[in-house]
Amino acid sequence: MEKETRSFQAETKQLLDLMIHSIYTHREIFLRELVSNGSDAIDKIKFESLTNSSILENNTNFEIKISFDKENRSITISDNGIGMTYDQVVEHIGTIAKSGSKAFKQALKDKNTASEVDIIGQFGVGFYSAFMVGQKVCLITKAPNENNGVKWESQGDGNYTIEYSDEAYGGTEIPIYWRDNDDDNNYDEYLSQYKIESLIKKYSDYIRYPIKLLVTENEYPTDENGKKIDDAIPTLVTNWKILNSMTPLWKKTKETITKDEYSEFYKSKFHDWNEPLDSIHTHVDGSIEYDALLFIPEKAPLDFYSKDFSKGLQLYCKNVFIMENCPELLPDYLGFIKGIVDSPDFSLNISREILQQNKQLETISKNIEKKILSAFKEMLKNEREKYTKFFKEFGVALKNGIYSDFSGKNKEKIEDLLIFSSSNSEKEITFDEYIQKVGDKQDKIYYVSGEDRALIEKLPQMERLKEKNIEVLYLFDKIDEFVLERMNEYKGKKFQSITKGELDILNSDESKKEIEEKSKSNEPMLNKIKELLNEHISNIRLTSKLKSTPACVVTDDNSMSLEMEKILSEMPNMKDFKVSRILELNPEHEVFLTLKNCYDTNNEEKLKTISEVLYYQSLLTEGLKIDDPIEFARKINKLIVS
């Protein structure tokens, strides 16, 4: 087949452009990315050879090699891993994975809100990082049992070439031809033994295969005892020098590992640009033995809350890689956790089907879940600010854990980890902190959902609650109220929306009696208004919970709130979904007197118009849409001129 010239997928080209122009300090990670790819490729061939030893072609000295040429300004990184076929090169190099590509387009659209670094970071820079230092990058590769190798080449512009090649030996070789220096950029610094050694130490020390650098060193002649001979002239020799210690980080004892080492390991292993928020490292001995090294990322990947996201931990057996994403090791609500589990208790060629029913895996997964949850609890207790940051990013995942579990088991595990904004505190609080504060004075936990603090605080119901200093939790996430509905109660205290039911806490026995009496004496009028608003409301009543507002709309205690209606009606096929509404009137308000006046003078037309305006304005204050704003305006105008 002839040499082909092909174009990069549009998103890849955009990603490349971002990367080439990315800031100088990030460039050095190119080495980490390519070495990690080499190590992954060796993991893969080792794993495949367990069931098909012929693919090794007598190649069992797995290694990653680096050589550099200062004069010709190039660095070559090679591995003897799995390599790629022609089709795999086309598929993997030059395209962003499908799920990523959708999210990437979105990220570019939202570029004003996310910096370039964020965008690149969330995609994992991978192979393309070579273009941050190289003006031309080649990839020469051969997959086992293939007759031909493949040569790929690109200058990082829109195109690449690809052809069959006999240069390839088995594995992958990536020569990078360096960019020219200019006034702002000095690319030469990487073309030195010292720099390469220090980058490998910094980023790739734990890689389990030797990373060898071709170095030219002075060798001094020695005498028969191996002692250097004074004044003898050294000769220049070239040697492969091993640069990394090769101990997997998870096998080292916790106390000997620095925060930086965890951080570098995380970034290189999971291709993240950001530091991890925290790490959890455990070794378990006993009926089951395993090491787990887990990380809480700082940021959720762009596709995290989409159905394309796949969770899972990397699985190793005695240091040998088995699987990239083992979903059985994590419950869905902890799907954002990254990490590895290494256990000698698995057989190496364990298949997916066996894994799914594997008792050991189940036990490990349960232990890991507990471990992660207790790490969250610790963070919540001792590092509140950090926890708040974490919760902003992943709180919805935890809440989903409660919402999607009908058994109630997740509720017990997660309820103490939820934090919410509240009327009486600038910082988010837990349910437990809420009930500590209210003690026996309240048998309910009050909450309200809405878009933001400012809107919620203007709700008519809030006025008297604030006056009486009753703390209300503010729910801003769409899922929140559904979660509280599912939970029903916390430590014996029921959840109560302030926009549902009678809100007894605001009514003293005295005021209740007063309302009862007023309701009785105004019964005919209330019945009339109910009849006039028949198509909108299911009931009408007087309330003492309002102060400066004449009316509000609430729903029944046992039904959904209006906020939930709003969320549900945004879903496909739910447009017409409506909960039945109760109109509450404030008998102390001037408007109430006007209503009475209309009723007493038999002015039914005006009574109807005012009632409708009250109903519609109550919906608007709750942040709900009204069906016919023009009609609403017409009614107001009618009242103005009346």
Residues lying near ligand ADP in the complex (CB under 6 A) are found at: 37-38, 41, 79, 81-84, 92-93, 124, 126-127, 172, 271
- Residue 2 Cβ, how far from ligand ADP at the closest point, in Å? 24
Residue (131 or 446) nearer to ligand ADP, CB:
131
SS3 443: coil
Nearer to ligand ADP, 43 or 622 (CB): 43
As a whole number of angstroms, the distance between CA 216 and CA 193 comes to: 9
Residues contacting 539, CB < 8 A, separation 6+: 530, 580, 582, 583
Closest CA to 133 of 89, 78, 65, 186: 186
- CA-to-CA separations, 60 to 57, 63, 191, in angstroms, rounded: 8, 9, 30
CB 349 within 8 A of CB 75: no
- Which CB atom, from 174 or from 470, has the smaller least distance to ligand ADP? 174
Distances (CA, A) of 359 to 14, 345, 355: 46, 11, 9
Closest separation between CB of residue 205 and ligand ADP, Å? 19
Give buried/exposed letters for 7-16 (b at 16+ CB in 10 A, else e).
ebeebbbbbb
Instruction: Name the residue nearer to ligand ADP (CB basis): 83 or 297.
Output: 83
Nearer to ligand ADP, 126 or 248 (CB): 126
- For the chain, report the end-to-end CA distance as a whole number of angstroms: 87
Report, in Å, the least distance between residue 129 CB and ligand ADP.
Answer: 8
Task: State the nearest-atom distance from the C-beta of 624 to ligand ADP, in Å.
Answer: 45
| Smallest separation (angstroms) from ligand ADP to the CB of 152 | 11
| Minimum distance of ligand ADP from residue 23's CB (angstroms) | 20
Q: Which of 544, 537, 539, 552 is nearest to 621 (CA)?
A: 552
Position closest to ligand ADP via CB: 126
* Smallest separation (angstroms) from ligand ADP to the CB of 246: 18
Structure tokens at 249: 């980080």
User: Given CA atoms 317, 318, 324, 328 in this order, what sign does their dihedral have?
Assistant: positive
Q: How far is CA 452 from the centre of its chain?
A: 22
Residue closer to ligand ADP by CB (options 65, 536) is: 65
DSSP, collapsed to helix, strand or coil, labels residue 447 as: strand
Which of 37/496 has CB closer to ligand ADP?
A: 37
Q: Are the beta carbons of 352 and 327 closer than 8 angstroms?
A: no
Q: Which residues contact 437 (CB under 8 A, 6 or more apart)?
A: 424, 471
Nearer to ligand ADP, 16 or 191 (CB): 16
User: Are the C-beta atoms of residues 132 and 19 closer than 8 Å to each other?
Assistant: yes
* Least distance in angstroms from the C-beta of 143 to ligand ADP: 8
- Nearest CB to ligand ADP, comparing residues 62 and 482: 62
Diameter of the chain measured on Cα atoms: 125
CB of 39 to ligand ADP, least distance (A): 9
Torsion 118-120-126-130 (CA) sign: negative
